[in-house]
Amino acid sequence: MNRLSVFLAAAAASLVALHGTAMAEPGCAPEAGRHVFATKCAMCHAADKSQGTIVGPNLFGVFERPVGKLPGFTYSPALAASDGTWDAKALDLFLKAPAVAKPGTSMPFAGIRNDADRASTICYLKALR
List per-residue pLDDT tens for the chain, 129 residues long.
Answer: 554 443 334 333 333 333 443 345 778 989 999 999 999 999 999 999 999 999 999 999 999 999 999 999 999 999 999 999 999 999 999 999 999 999 999 999 999 999 999 999 999 999 998
Report yes or no on 11 lying in a domain.
no
Largest interatomic CA distance in the chain: 62
Question: Domain with 70 in it: what CATH number?
Answer: 1.10.760.10
Residue 106 structural domain: 25-127
Report yes or no on 17 lying in a domain.
no
Total domains, the chain? 1
pLDDT at position 2, please?
Answer: 55
Report yes or no on 18 lying in a domain.
no
Report yes or no on 121 lying in a domain.
yes
Residue 55 exposed, middle or buried by CB count within 10 Å (0-12, 13-18, 19+):
exposed
C-alpha atoms less than 13 angstroms from C-alpha of 87 in its C-beta half-sphere: 4
